[in-house]
Amino acid sequence: MPIPTSPPAAERQLLRDTVRSRIRDAIVDGTLEPGERLHDDELIAWLQVSRTPIREALGDLVRAGLVEMAPNRYTRVATPRAEEAIEAVQTLGVLFGGAVRLAVPLLAAGVTAQIVAGIDACLADLDAEDGPALNAHTVALFSTYVDHCGNASLQRVCRDVTDGLAYKLRLPNIVQVLNWAGMAEQYRLLRQATLDGDPITAELAAEALHELPGERPAPARGGGPGPVAAQPVVAAQPVVGA
């Protein structure tokens, strides 16, 4: 057979992945702020790599929704926009709801304890009305379900899109954008359903948290989860100061 004359691309691909991860981490942790321009020369000096893996990594981050690019005009960190928030949270709900349903029957006791602790952290964020903390803790929580869902295809999809979608929710007035008042009940339902090994109730609670309409599990008398009852999701409130 013909022998390829070009060397394997594995090394460059690995370098591209490393560069993408470092820029992504700097965006997610706030080192690179929304709207900040990304100049090739500065990125080369920081990351100590050539221009090619940087441009490849930036292209990946554009597709993920973390970077905005206009040819010959600018490359910059994306700025979350209020009008995109509901669609982003609903998309996460579609993905995370499925991951929860698949994961709950498979969870080991230690992972269940980790999830319960994560839900308790989210409830504390709700009490404090701390939107940024809730965003971070919720992504970490559902990433645990994803990691243990047993479906490699779903895991790949979630890894590709979760960062960009969650980033769109980094709004200073996220409390006004989401149905904040109803979230605590759904987190508690998710908590109990996970402990009970009930994947359907857990899935519905996860989807309700992400503004997806439909049938919702209603608490039974005595505090435990009861039969499914219709509880329509309250429409998101108008965004203030967007």
pLDDT values of the chain reduced to their tens digit, one per residue, 242 residues: 454 455 555 555 688 889 999 999 999 888 999 999 999 999 999 999 999 999 999 999 998 889 999 988 999 999 988 888 889 989 999 999 999 999 999 999 999 999 999 999 999 999 998 888 888 899 999 999 999 999 999 999 998 889 889 888 888 777 677 777 889 999 999 999 999 999 999 999 999 999 887 665 555 444 444 433 334 333 344 333 33
- Whole-number Å distance between alpha carbons of 159 and 133: 20
* Residue 197 to residue 169: CA distance in whole angstroms: 30
Question: Which residue bears the tokens 């903390």?
Answer: 133
Q: Can you give the pLDDT at residue 228?
A: 39
pLDDT of residue 130: 87
Backbone φ and ψ of 130, nearest 5°: -100, 90
Classify residue 22 as exposed, middle or buried by CB count within 10 Å of its CB (0-12, 13-18, 19+): middle
The tokens for 199 are: 């994947």
Degrees, nearest 5: CA angle 107-111-113: 115
Predicted TM-score (pTM) of this structure: 0.73
Question: What's the pLDDT at 136?
Answer: 87
| Angle at CA of residue 144, ends 213 and 169, nearest 5° | 50
Tokens 């940087």 belong to residue: 54
